[in-house]
Chains A and B, each alone.
Chain A
Amino acid sequence: MANIEQIAKGAIEPGCAKVDPILVASGVTRQFGGLKAVDVAHLEIPRGKITALIGPNGAGKTTLFNLLTGFDKPNTGTWNFAGKDLAGVAPHKVARMGMVRTFQLTKALSLLTVIDNMRLGAQDNPGEKFFAAFVRPLWANKEREITERADALLTRFKLDAKRDDYAAGLSGGQRKLLEMARALMSKPELVMLDEPMAGVNPALTQSLLEHIKGLKENGTTVLFVEHDMHMVRHISDWVVVMAEGKIVAEGPPADVMKNPAVIDAYLGAHANSDLGDVEIATKEGN
């Protein structure tokens, strides 16, 4: 686990500055009707580290992902990635800059084969240009290289047996894996994973955790949303906690888990009662 001093610059508090941030967001808000789904005053993601973004259901984690990657427009706010201003930049340009995300609700391209899904993840394939598409020699080499890389990743993600099947035939967990592998095809600088392990069996989770650590070793920054605290504790260098749209805590995993603000955010006012009591209380209240 990385040394804390290498990550935060100054005091550790919600929105604190980092020694070497790759992504810096300020004043990002997103309103849905009367609900402020995201209200992030300041957030920095450390470069070359694995950062977990946690928080209860509806905290605004997915919405924040959508905003940062250009899939949704914020009401206010600016953010930059590796020094480049990203506010208002189209999603495909964000991806090309090296910031690639996956989706919580998996988006496998169902009626493409698994290997074609993977190939689509690669960048700068000349054959994806209209006129070059006619001239196979212009892209045959690149295509071969991409396919080799795709096959290696598929093996790593235990999907090689499914290589030539339609993605529609994959199980829910396998789709999650495919989406993550596909995102990695572009060799991103920052990969943002929205609940990558949801529905993946524990044995495979272990190997994927190793893979994510491997990404870090190769210099890729990882930001992931996850509800599984075991996983968060196991691989993350840094944890950011969101609740009701705001960043309520951050820090190294061991410290954050003990933070009263985090326990409060997860269990609300009922921190000391069990779920059965809560239910009875709500019924009586009505």
Chain B
Amino acid sequence: MDFGQIFNLTAGELIGVFTAAYALCALGLAMHFGFTGLLNFGQAGFAALGAYGYAFAALKLGWNMWGSFGFGMVCAAVFALILGLPTLRLRADYLAIVTIAAAQALYFFFGTEKYAAFTGGSNGLSEFGGDFYGYNPFPVGRYDLGIITLSEKEIWIRVVSWGLVAFVAVLLVILTRSPWGRTLKGIREDEDAVRSLGKNVFVYKMQSLVLGGVIGSLGGMVFVLSSQTNQASTWVSNFTFMTWTVLLLGGAATILGPIVGSAVFFMFLMFTQAFLEGLVNIGALPFLSIAQVGQIRYLLVGLFLMLLVIFRPQGFFGNKKELQFNG
């Protein structure tokens, strides 16, 4: 078994595009759940709108990168408004139900052949990153980063996606430390108390829903820009649940948490994949096939989460007092 190879693959995930994409989606959820107490179980829908919004604007409208980014974000913002208007005045569980259902509806909408003219149907959309990669300042070539070697495109998408992660993280640090952020945390603790102090709770919840959704759409955009392919099958509810896993791993009411949570999550997946495959290849696990390894590692993720809930319910970075699963 090549441990050097396993190590390199695992370390590569530390700067992976999917790691950054999930970190963005989880940062959006941190805004929703960690800082406002909103239960959004449809983050896949927000990410999908970012991805389809970008691809649609670039391919069908012929917009440049900036316009396409903007379009994806606007789609997510409108989605948040539509979901929030009827539910944010009601108890928290209504938003949860509506986000699950709406994300699922989007998934079917994007996948059906009926609107293939807009969405590409089951084939999805591809090759929409021309303008994006046109901005690439790195000359064509292979870049050896010590542990992994990347093409100029792979470097560029990593720079942009991690740059976005850093930008969003700074934005959220500023916001959560402001009086605005304090009001949101108050709403998370007790809406009625905050109402009795003269704050328009509905408006704050809406602002949080839109902001977190738009951050999620950025995650969706970088996710599909790495391969320039976007298919409906990516945006299943599994995507949402993996985002929640990432968030809870790191700590819901933190900003570093979702980022580190995402890195740990993807390194764990890659490590178990490579390690178990290695064991199967040398015949150490005769009862497993290579195809089963891919599934086994999610079982291990589940086990890992259970241990986390039992021994460190606040996540890696969470303040034990500030937010737990039952928070």
Contacts and interface: CB of A to CB of B under 8 A. Distances in A.
Interface of A: 69, 71, 90-93, 95-96, 100-103, 107-112, 116-117, 119-121, 123, 125, 127-130, 132-134, 136, 139, 143, 166, 168, 179, 182-183, 185-186
Contact of B183 (A128, A132, A182, A183): A128
A106 to B, nearest CB: 9
Given A69-B196, A107-B196, 13 more contacts: A90-B195, A90-B200, A103-B193, A109-B193, A109-B194, A111-B189, A117-B186, A120-B194, A127-B178, A128-B179, A128-B180, A132-B180, A133-B180
Contact of B193 (A107, A123, A130): A107
A114 to B, nearest CB: 13
Interface stretch (B3-11, B263-271, B278-286, B319-327): B319-327
24 contacts: A71-B192, A92-B195, A92-B197, A92-B201, A100-B196, A101-B196, A107-B193, A107-B196, A109-B185, A109-B193, A111-B189, A112-B182, A112-B189, A116-B185, A119-B179, A120-B182, A121-B197, A127-B180, A132-B180, A134-B174, A134-B175, A134-B178, A168-B321, A183-B196
B182 A119 contact: yes
Contact of A92 (B188, B198, B322): B198
A168 B327 CA distance: 12
B182 A95 contact: no
A107 B190 CA distance: 7
B234 interface: no
Contacts of A112: 182, 185-186, 189
B175 A95 contact: no
B84 interface: no
A71 B183 CA distance: 19
A102 B192 CA distance: 10
A11 B196 CA distance: 35
A129 B195 CA distance: 16
A133 B197 contact: no
B199 interface: yes
B111 interface: no
A129 B193 contact: no
Contact of A139 (B179, B193, B197): B179
A109 B186 CA distance: 6
Chain B contact patch, size range? 20 to 34
Nearest to A139: B179
B196 A95 contact: yes
A166 B181 contact: no
B227 interface: no
Contacts of A123: 198
Interface of B: 174-175, 178-183, 185-186, 188-190, 192-201, 207, 321-323, 327
A232 to B, nearest CB: 24
Given A109-B186, A133-B174, A134-B178, A100 B327 contact: no
A214 to B, nearest CB: 21
A182 B321 contact: no
A280 B48 CA distance: 69
A127 B182 CA distance: 10
A66 to B, nearest CB: 10
Given A116-B182, A120-B194, A168-B321, A128 B199 contact: yes
A120 B195 contact: no
Contacts of A91: 192, 195-196
Contacts of A119: 179, 182
Contact of B327 (A103, A111, A132, A179): A111
Contacts of B175: 133-134
Residue of B186, B193, B322 ringed by the most chain A CB atoms within 10 A: B193
A116 B190 CA distance: 14
Contacts of A183: 196-197
B186 A95 contact: no
Contacts of B186: 109, 112, 116-117, 120
A143 B179 contact: yes
A111 B323 CA distance: 8
Contact of B179 (A100, A111, A133): A133
A96 B200 CA distance: 10
B193 to A, nearest CB: 4
A199 to B, nearest CB: 18
A117 B186 CA distance: 8
A112 B179 CA distance: 12
A270 B189 CA distance: 44
A133 B321 contact: no
Contacts of B323: 111
A66 B175 CA distance: 33
B181 A133 contact: yes
Contacts of B197: 92, 95, 100, 120-121, 182-183, 185-186
A166 B180 contact: no
B174 A120 contact: no
Contacts of B182: 112, 116, 119-120, 128
B190 A120 contact: no
Nearest to B193: A107
Contacts of B327: 111
B137 to A, nearest CB: 29
A183 B193 CA distance: 10
A95 B198 contact: yes
Given A92-B201, A111-B323, A168-B321, A120 B192 contact: no
